[in-house]
Amino acid sequence: MKTFTTTRQSTHGAFTLVELLVVIAIIGILIALLLPAVQAARESARRAQCLNHLKQLGIGIHNFESARGYLPPAHTAQVGGPGNARFSIFYYLLPYIEEQALFDLFDPQREPDRTRNLSIALSPEASVPTYLCPSRRSGANQSEKTPPGTCNSLGPTGDYSIVSYVTDKLHTDWGTILYDTLHLQRQAIKPALVENNDYANPILRAGFRQIEDGLSKTFFMCEKHIHEGALNRCCGPGVVDMVQTGCEVGRDGNIFYFHAYYYREYNMNSSVRFRIAAGPWDGEGETNETHTHDGLTIGAPTIGSWHPGIAHFLMGDGSVRGFNFTTPVSILEALGQIADGQVIDLP
């Protein structure tokens, strides 16, 4: 008897070229669908961290007031002296946001942009993470040197500023905060006057008692607007300054350094008299003569963020609120003043 043996061959299926291309296309579509969600999640985390930084600044302001009996000054100026080139609020807040070591390195009786103080400002340690919004930047950030040199404000940059409201036209009315214009200023964070270089004990200073509209209805600080093309550039509100003086179109200089010349005060100061910027490129190319507001000449907006459609404001009670860039200027002005008598109901 013959026995027949059959051999069964096994075949392994393989993808055809068409099937492989279809799989690749599906994977590509899924990645394209997931990428915006991942980016949105990352921005949400960055925005939450930015909000937390403003909260820390609010805690620092309240701790300063509890320890000193008055609010931290926008900057200090010597009575009868030049007083323009002095340290800003970001220097005075350092011990109250756990940066005592950096605070101790500076000499407050010398100008912030000279000799030893300048060396400290140019060190990586001077870039304080709490002063930076991660949606815009992180790590050590320094303003860049630009010709002809007189416009420079070298040192660490930052993404927050005090909120100001000035009742008269000063420069382009961005809220210049010179010590001799205190009677024109309606914001909570004001300059302080000192005598005999006693910067620890100002003789003229602002406090909570002056905020008649209520802490929860008054702006203290905000995110400042910086053009995407002007990161780390200083100093001037519009292209006219670059043409006339060689200054860069930016407001992103040394945040510890207040100076009224070449618009360096805008490193740490933003006016609520103008709209919130609609995005990183809003106001690009505008000059001081571009718009008018109640008969005053103004430039590009000074408040804004790189968060989609919103900018954060620190209120006097320490809370942080987000305001859409479509918020009417009249609302911003009312919340920027400490005693205008207007009651603004916030959601």
- Domain ranges within the chain, ordered by starting residue: 19-336
256-297 tens-digit pLDDT: 988 766 667 778 888 888 889 988 888 765 544 444 444 434
Cross-strand pairs, 296: 293
pLDDT at 285: 55
Q: How far is CA 132 from CA 36, 138, 322, in A?
A: 24, 6, 17
pLDDT at 287: 47
129-156 tens-digit pLDDT: 999 999 999 888 888 876 655 667 889 9
User: Using an 8 Å Cβ cutoff, are 258 and 121 in contact?
Assistant: no
Q: Which of 36, 19, 49, 117 is nearest to 305 (CA)?
A: 49
Cis peptide bond prior to 148, omega within 30° of 0: yes
pLDDT at 79: 67
Distance from C-alpha of 168 to C-alpha of 175, rounded to nearest angstrom: 9
User: Using an 8 Å Cβ cutoff, are 305 and 178 in contact?
Assistant: no
Average the pLDDT over 47-53 and give the result: 95
Q: Which of 100-104, 159-163, 215-219, 267-271 has the least mean pLDDT?
A: 267-271
pLDDT at 187: 92
Going by C-beta distance under 8 Å and a sequence separation of 6 or more, which residues neighbour residue 282? 225, 300, 301, 304, 325
Distance from C-alpha of 155 to C-alpha of 141, rounded to nearest angstrom: 8
Three-state SS at 270: strand
Distance from C-alpha of 205 to C-alpha of 71, rounded to nearest angstrom: 7
User: Using an 8 Å Cβ cutoff, are 179 and 185 in contact?
Assistant: no
Average the pLDDT over 197-203 and give the result: 75
Distance from C-alpha of 305 to C-alpha of 292, rounded to nearest angstrom: 23
Going by C-beta distance under 8 Å and a sequence separation of 6 or more, which residues neighbour residue 98? none
User: Using an 8 Å Cβ cutoff, are 172 and 299 in contact?
Assistant: yes
> Which backbone phi and psi does 211 adopt, to 5 degrees?
-90, 85
Distance from C-alpha of 128 to C-alpha of 121, rounded to nearest angstrom: 11
> What average pLDDT does the structure give for the chain?
81
User: Using an 8 Å Cβ cutoff, are 311 and 303 in contact?
Assistant: yes
Predicted confidence band of residue 241 (pLDDT cuts 50, 70, 90): low
Concatenated DSSP letters of 71-136: PPPSBEEETTS---SEEBHHHHTGGGGT-HHHHHHS-TTS-TTSHHHHHHHTSGGG--GGG--TTT
Cross-strand pairs, 40: none
- Residue 258's H or E segment, with its range, is strand 257-258
Distance from C-alpha of 85 to C-alpha of 299, rounded to nearest angstrom: 24
pLDDT at 297: 42
- Residue 292's H or E segment, with its range, is strand 291-293
